[in-house]
Chain A
Amino acid sequence: MSDLHTLSVAELVDGLHNKNFSSAELTEHYLRRIEKLDGKVNSFITVDADNARAAAKLADQQRAAGDTRALLGVPMAHKDIFCTEGVLTTCGSKMLHNFVSPYDATIVKNIRDAGFINLGKLNMDEFAMGSDNKSSYYGAVHNPWDLDHVPGGSSGGSAAATAAGFAPVTTGSDTGGSIRQPASFCGLTGMKPTYGRVSRFGMIAYASSLDQAGTLGRSAEDCAYLLHPMAGHDSRDATSIDRAVPDYVQVLADAKNNAGDKPFAGLKIGVAKEYFGEGLDSEVDTHVRAALKKYEELGATIVEVNITNPKVTLATYYMLAPAEASSNLSRFDGVRFGYRCEDPKNLTDLYTRSRSEGFGPEVQRRILMGTYALSAGYFDAYYTKAQKVRRVILEDFEKAFKECDLIASPTAPTAAYKLGETLDPVSMYLGDVYTIAVNLAGLPAISMPAGFTEAGLPVGLQLIGNHWNDDKLLTTAHLYQQHTDHHTKLSAIAQESI
């Protein structure tokens, strides 16, 4: 069967259950696709083929022996930011080119325990710092819809692999839009959960107070399958919250069953003019408005809300995230693991050269910005002030959620841009303008396909929920996807058979 990679996770679950195909066949199909086609995309840093084959074989045996885990034997792949025991874990950096993790991230273990097969580790912007996956030490990733274009970032490898049909679902991490923006660029559904919903233990930290692991899939339902085992309290992460995890897949099934002609009757969607202003590409604007029209047709009401000026939000983010990063990345010093420079003359030389040679320019830029923001004499003016603004951003969202259930916006101001286009850092940062407020406020948000540009590139719609409304976001996307077909379109690479 050559089109296994076009099946949804629900179809894979059924197919495995009904013995239409085995996990070994399914896994082999994905591994062969990666082998044949990833040369064009460069989405994987490590393909863990041997372990994947062994795990698939074991899954088939377990199923035959009566193991009833629905997801047993379904392949997936991890962003290379998640520590995976015995497997190279690079975070897209030369600094960790030789780091084989001695332990599993909590989500890696949870996902494996649910029955998933890990195919390998996915390319990403170095230390998750970037929006086009060009900062990876392992090379740029190509957008499967048009190989001349970027896949977005930092979870660019995750998005490209999913869109290319190299894995049905993938994990990502989102600090300022790093799941949603690549999902938008690659025509996927990308879910960034509420801060504290998913354990951060074993996810290499960029900005601890903003980082959150999530999922990329072709549909909201695919995301729900992967998110369910990931979510939940972890005693090893003090910021993870002990709160019951809904069965997201069941929630979606129930919502679909209960939906009439107007599934969104009573739903109030907030729209902020700040998200439809200067800098927004007209094609993106058109498709996002069309999607909102569809929601209205299906019963939703659109209301106007106010949110914090995105320029203020952007400045706040680029003060706080680098500040935390400058400290989080101090452990990469060439002493205990990772890259160490040749023949250090003394301790200072060891630190200076290991870090100068091991980190790429974008990472160094953010370490320098963050170090500056935390320095004596600047701390109050920058860091403390940014923290105050952060509280205002949260309060503005709280006010907005008194007026509406969800807030809608474009995910990114543009569709995927060309790989050759060199953006200066500030222009690249501006690409995060619609996604970063969510991280600063710890809110859940989802990006889903809302149409295509004339050039055939996907456009994403973002929905932002109040804290712990992860299930509501998935439902709202899922029901939309019952009435639209943007998410069913296949990228050029996904259409290539092997």
Chain B
Amino acid sequence: MTFIAENTGPIRKELLVDGYEVVIGIEIHCQLNTDSKIFSSSPTDFGHEANTQANIVDLGLPGVLPVLNEGLIERALKFGLGVNAELGLYNTFDRKNYFYPDLPKGYQITQMANPIVGKGYIDVVVNEGSKNEYSKRIGITRGHLEEDAGKSVHDAVEGMTGVDLNRAGTPLIEIVSEPDMRSASEAVAYIKAIHQLVTWIGISDAIMAEGSFRCDCNVSVRKPGDELGTRTELKNLNSFRNIERAINSEIERQIDVIEDGGKVIQATLLYDPETDKTRAMRTKEDANDYRYFPDPDLLPVQISQETVDAVRAAMPELPVERRARFEAELGLSEYDARIITGSRELADYFEAVLAIIGTEHAKTAANWMMGELMGALNKDEKTINDTPISIEQLAGLIKRINDNTLSGKLAKQVFAAMYEGEGGDGADAADKIIEAKGLKQETDTGAIKAMVEDVIAKNATMVEEYKGGKEKAFNGLVGQVMKASRGKANPQQVNEILKELLG
């Protein structure tokens, strides 16, 4: 892919490396989550025995023909709307011709001339959560549908290379960015934003380790103001961490080459995370002439405005919009809103809880999710999708805080029990635990007053200290009351009554 436009914003001096400006453009191959392949009825699920997920079409037998899986149109349009792009309503498919054993037909069907997604952008947050956080708009050049190739397997047969065509024909959208990124951190922020978007709108599982979300990074360096430098393409980057390390390692290598008076050679490089080094896969001299031409087996697909309108109407609220709404309408802090919109499932869970307890308790709900719930899930390496505490159960717990049945401290005990499955599956789990463990908060003024009087009588020294001006002694007395109530007295009431009695 040739990059045509260039981001011409002001240069951030702090991003320069030894006086060089870094320029990064990214191609993401994202698998779309249809049940069957892009041009055949074979299933797309991952992890099966080699060549069991490939039918006569995927094998490229003589005489077979491709037929487009229409479910992909809707998914690609969703992506286009998600990145504010011009949509390509007139779609054609082209053949990219080259020979390789994992490419059964000798050509890949892709969209060269008329892609389904045109120019767009996505707003990303760089260095999110840290002091030097800033936001940036990254241009999207295009997004096009294409089929994946199979895999060459180099270690299965002694002295030979095997071919597994299970992946051949898996539907992909290739997302091409503008060369707008100026550091590894910006690249990672962009990739994370795209990753969040495609999972959020439900078009991809985007599991990097399974190869359903693959990033190729084009990296070059130049002195500020100069023409674009020669770029290299980094492949085999299968985690956010490796992407950042690989880019930084490549930036260093390119600067060293230039500083030593050499020239960067255009090449495709494989990153080896073991050694933190890149090695050349092929150079420009090996480049194929792909002889693109329109695939005569597939007629142009004209997408109607009705289809676009229907997809638009069915679009979920995007992360950025939802975050803004949580801040503006629910009064969440920017930080809280960002965490709660970390995934669509988390945000949906949050709003479902609010639907039960009322939006005025948004802050309480957010605190419980971010604190206890996510803390517990993270500890168990689980996500919100595997939560043992249902929406109704968390709402039931928060209700008991709101009606003063539970203090914060008691509520944490109830939560821990509930997380372990106590109290049953129902919405009344919190109530059952409170009942079973006798954790109901004491809010009867008379009863609390009696306890307070008892504590004052038994702790004359502390009372004297307090009266003598030692504020700390007050807390000690509160602690004594709480201890006497076995933690169940309402702490606020204890405070008030104690103050009143000590006059």
- Residues of A bordering B, CB below 8 Å: 82-83, 89, 91, 96, 99, 101-103, 105, 200-205, 207-209, 235-239, 323-324, 326-327, 329-333, 335-337, 347, 351, 371, 374-376, 379, 383
Q: Would B291 and A235 count as touching, CB distance under 8 A?
A: no
Residues of B within 8 A of A337 (CB): 61-62
Are B95 and A96 touching (Cβ within 8 A)?
Answer: no
- Which 9 pairs, one residue from A and one from B, show the smallest C-beta to C-beta distance? A330-B106, A209-B296, A374-B291, A208-B296, A202-B63, A204-B62, A331-B60, A83-B63, A204-B63
Q: In the complex, what residues of B have CB within 8 A of residue A201's CB?
A: 63-65
> What are 10 A-B interface contacts by the 8 Å CB criterion?
A99-B62, A101-B63, A238-B299, A327-B107, A327-B291, A330-B106, A331-B62, A337-B62, A351-B99, A374-B292
Contact A347 B61 (CB under 8 A): no
| Most A Cβ at <10 Å: residue of B105, B292, B297 | B297
Q: Are A327 and B293 in contact (CB under 8 A)?
A: yes
Nearest-neighbour CB distance to chain B for A425, whole angstroms, equals: 22
Is there an interface contact between B105 and A330, defined as CB atoms closer than 8 Å?
yes
A375 and B63 contact, Cβ closer than 8 Å, known pairs A238-B299, A327-B107: no
Provide the residues of chain A in CB contact with B296, threshold 8 Å: 207-209, 239, 324
CB distance from B36 to the nearest CB of A (A): 13
Query: Of B95, B99, B104, B298, which is within 8 A of A336 by CB?
Result: B104
| Distance in angstroms between the alpha carbons of A236 and B293 in the assembled complex | 22
**In the complex, which of the residues B95, B99, B104, B292 has the most CB atoms of chain A within 10 Å of its own CB atom?**
B99
B63 touches A236 (CB 8 A): no
Closest B residue to A202 by CB, please name it. Answer: B63
Nearest CB of chain A from residue B254's CB, rounded to whole Å: 28
- Complex-state Cα separation, A239 to B104, whole angstroms: 21
Chain B contact surface mostly: loop
A contact residues around B65 at 8 Å (CB): 200-201, 236-239
A326 vs B290: C-alpha distance when bound (angstroms): 12
**CB distance A374 to B97 under 8 Å?**
yes
CA distance A323 to B94 in the complex (A): 13
Shortest C-beta distance, B350 to chain A (Å), equals 44
- Provide the bound-state CA to CA distance between A371 and B291, in Å: 8
Q: Is the CB of A239 within 8 A of B63?
A: no
- Min distance, Cβ B269 to any Cβ of chain A, angstroms: 21
- Chain B residues with Cβ below 8 Å from A205 are 62-63, 297
B107 adjacent to A202 (CB under 8 Å): no
Q: B211 in the interface, Cβ–Cβ < 8 Å?
A: no
Do B59 and A336 touch (CB < 8 A)? Answer: yes
- In the complex, residue of chain B having the shortest beta-carbon distance to the beta carbon of A103: B56
Q: How far is the CA of A194 from the CA of B56 in the complex (A)?
A: 27
State whether A208 touches B297 (Cβ < 8 A).
Answer: yes
Which residue from A105, A324, A336, A371 sits with its C-beta under 8 Å from B60?
A336
Near A by CB (< 8 A), chain B positions 153-191 give: 163
| B66 interface hit (Cβ, 8 Å) | yes
Q: Which of B280-296 contact A (CB under 8 A)?
A: 289, 291-293, 296
| Nearest neighbor of A383 in chain B, beta-carbon distance | B293
List 16 extra interface pairs beyond A205-B297, A239-B298, CB under 8 A: A83-B62, A200-B65, A204-B63, A239-B296, A324-B296, A326-B97, A327-B97, A327-B107, A330-B105, A331-B60, A332-B62, A333-B106, A336-B104, A347-B101, A375-B291, A383-B293
Residues B99 and A102 in contact, CB atoms below 8 Å apart:
no
A204 to B297, CA, bound (A): 12
Complex contacts, A335 vs chain B, CB 8 Å? 101, 104, 163
Cβ-defined partner of A376 (8 Å) among B59, B62, B289, B299: B289
A374 x B293 contact (CB < 8 A): yes
B296-328 interface (Cβ within 8 A of A): 296-299
Distance, CA A459 to CA B1, complexed state (A): 55
Q: Are A235 and B67 in contact (CB under 8 A)?
A: yes
Question: B68 within 8 Å of A by Cβ?
Answer: yes
**Bound-complex Cα distance A279 to B67 (A):** 43
Contacts of A333 in B (CB 8 A): 99, 101, 106
Interface of chain A: mostly helix, strand, loop or mixed:
loop
B104 in contact with A331 (CB, 8 Å):
yes
Contacts of A239 in B (CB 8 A): 65, 296-299
Q: Are A323 and B107 in contact (CB under 8 A)?
A: no
Instruction: Tell me the B residues contacting A by CB distance below 8 Å.
Output: 56, 59-68, 95, 97, 99, 101, 104-107, 163, 289, 291-293, 296-299
> Complex Cα distance A207/B67, Å?
18
Contacts of A237 in B (CB 8 A): 65, 67
Closest to B288 in A: A376
> How far, in angstroms, from A77 to B63 measured CA to CA in the complex?
18
Out of A238, A327, A376, name the residue touching B66 (CB < 8 Å).
A238
Inter-chain contact B293/A103, CB cutoff 8 Å: no
Min C-beta distance of B135 to chain A, whole Å: 40
Measured between alpha carbons, how far is A96 from B289 in the docked complex, in Å?
27
Q: Which residues of A contact B67 (CB under 8 A)?
A: 235-238
List chain A residues, Cβ under 8 A from B105: 330-331
Please, how many angstroms separate the alpha-carbon atoms of A347 and B67 in the complex? 30
- Find chain B residues with CB under 8 A from A103 CB: 56, 61
Q: Give Cα distance in the complex from A208 to B293, angstroms.
A: 13
A residues less than 8 Å from B297 (CB atoms): 205, 208, 238-239
Closest residue on chain A to residue B293 by CB atoms: A374
Complex alpha-carbon distance, A425 and B62, angstroms: 26
| A368: min CB distance to chain B, Å | 13
Chain B's nearest CB lies how many Å from the CB of A142?
27
Least CB separation from B106: chain A residue:
A330
Q: How distant is A415 from chain B, measured CB to nearest CB, in Å?
A: 33
A333 to B98, CA, bound (A): 11
CB contact under 8 A between A379 and B293, given known A103-B61, A237-B65, A351-B99: yes
Q: Which residue of B lies closest to A203 (CB)?
A: B63
- In the complex, A145 Cα to B186 Cα: how many Å? 77
Query: Which residues of B have CB within 8 Å of A379?
Result: 291-293
CB A269 to nearest CB in B, in angstroms, measures: 32
A202 nearest CB across to chain B (Å)? 4
Separation in Å of the A386 CB from the closest CB of chain B?
A: 11
CB distance from B101 to the nearest CB of A (A): 5
Residue in B63, B104, B298 whose beta carbon sits within 8 Å of that of A105 in the complex = B63
Q: Please, how many angstroms separate the alpha-carbon atoms of A324 and B296 in the complex?
A: 8
Q: For A351, list chain B residues within 8 Å (CB).
A: 99
Question: What is the CA–CA distance of A332 and B61 in the complex, to the nearest angstrom?
Answer: 9
Given contact pairs A331-B106, A371-B291, A238 touches B97 in the complex (Cβ within 8 A): no
> What is the CA–CA distance of A70 and B332 in the complex, to the nearest angstrom?
77
Distance, CA A331 to CA B63, complexed state (A): 10
Task: List the B side residues contacting A209 at CB < 8 Å.
Answer: 296
A89 to B291, Cβ gap below 8 A?
A: no
A351 to B289, CA, bound (A): 17
- How many Å from the CB of B160 to the closest CB on chain A? 11
Residues of A within 8 A of B291 (CB): 326-327, 371, 374-376, 379
Chain A residues, CB < 8 A from B163: 335-336
Instruction: Enumerate chain B residues within 8 angstroms of A203, measured Cβ to Cβ.
Output: 63
CB-based nearest B residue for A377? B289
**How many Å from the CB of B11 to the closest CB on chain A?**
35
Decide yes or no: A330 and B99 within 8 Å by CB, A83-B62, A335-B163, A375-B289 being known contacts: yes
B298–A238 CB distance below 8 A? yes
Contacts of A238 in B (CB 8 A): 65-68, 297-299
Q: Which residues of A contact B62 (CB under 8 A)?
A: 83, 89, 91, 96, 99, 101, 204-205, 331-332, 337
CA distance A125 to B416 in the complex (A): 79
Please measure, in the bound complex, the distance between the C-alpha atom of A376 and the C-alpha atom of B85, giving whole angstroms.
Answer: 30
CB distance from A380 to the nearest CB of B (A): 11
C-alpha gap A202/B61 in the complex (Å) = 9
Q: Find the B residue at minimum CB distance from A90.
A: B62
A225-B107 Cα distance, complex, nearest whole Å: 38
Q: For the complex, give the distance between the alpha carbons of A326 and B291 in Å.
A: 10
Q: A238-B298, A330-B105 are in contact. Are A102 and B289 (CB under 8 A)?
A: no
* A102 partner residues in chain B, CB cutoff 8 A: 56, 61
Report the bound CA distance from A82 to B64 in whole Å.
11
User: In the complex, which residues of chain B have a beta carbon less than 8 angstroms from the beta carbon of A330?
Assistant: 97, 99, 105-107
- Chain A residues closer than 8 Å to B61, beta-carbon distance: 83, 101-103, 331, 336-337
- B109 CB, nearest partner CB in chain A, Å: 11
